[in-house]
A and B are shown apart, each in its own frame.
Chain A
Amino acid sequence: DTEVTQTPKHLVMGMTNKKSLKCEQHMGHRAMYWYKQKAKKPPELMFVYSYEKLSINESVPSRFSPECPNSSLLNLHLHALQPEDSALYLCASSQDWEQGPYEQYFGPGTRLTVT
């Protein structure tokens, strides 16, 4: 089973709102990722968690705050977003991070619209 789930599927939020995106995997993977994808562009890496610890932050603005409560769950907390943050937010997981090579499996994504 190579399933990564994400909720919600769609999210519309105002610039003053606080919301969270959730991601879950039950494949026993130890690495989880957040990507952002704008229309007709490839996914851009935002964060990497390895063994529940933040390994990579690709200079993402602090209005995006990741959290990894346990090895199966990954959250992305959103606060004071801008309209240009509207995008498809993708969660992915892989068996490991540094002990590669590895394949990443993506969830269905959350379509975020900031008004």
Chain B
Amino acid sequence: QKEVEQNSGPLSVPEGAIASLNCTYSDRGSQSFFWYRQYSGKSPELIMFIYSNGDKEDGRFTAQLNKASQYVSLLIRDSQPSDSATYLCAVLFSGTYKYIFGTGTRLKVLA
């Protein structure tokens, strides 16, 4: 059973803090990992993708991948109220060409 697990939250952080979102996956052979942000009633918006172990930074966002431990995380620095949304982790499992989405973590940034 291919699974992607996320804590549903809500994760509440004060404005200006670092928000840390985590995602674990079941398939050790997975190669590609994606983070999407989804505002209520809107469609998912791609934030970042990561394929290699380590960190990848883009502005206030950092994706971290640890394939040995089978987790991928998203850090949001200097969190803003506008970052309040559901964050979806998607994993491309080995041997398939399909995304498996986690159930998403709801983030609330408190002003």
Contact = CB atoms under 8 A, between A and B. Distances in A.
Given A106-B43, A108-B42, 13 more contacts: A41-B103, A42-B88, A45-B99, A48-B97, A48-B98, A90-B44, A100-B32, A101-B49, A103-B49, A104-B34, A104-B46, A106-B46, A108-B43
Interface in B37-76: 41-46, 49, 51
A88 B39 CA distance: 13
Given A88-B43, A103-B46, A108-B43, A42 B101 contact: yes
A101 B43 contact: no
Interface of A: 2, 41-43, 45, 48, 56, 88, 90, 97-98, 100-109, 111
Q: Is the interface of A mostly helix, strand, loop or mixed?
A: loop
Interface residues of B, number: 22
A56 B98 contact: yes
Contacts of A109: 42-43
Contacts of B104: 42
B92 A101 contact: yes
B103 A42 contact: yes
A42 B102 contact: yes
Contacts of A97: 97
Contacts of A88: 43
5 contacts: A42-B104, A56-B98, A97-B97, A103-B46, A107-B43
Contacts of B26: none
A114 B80 CA distance: 37
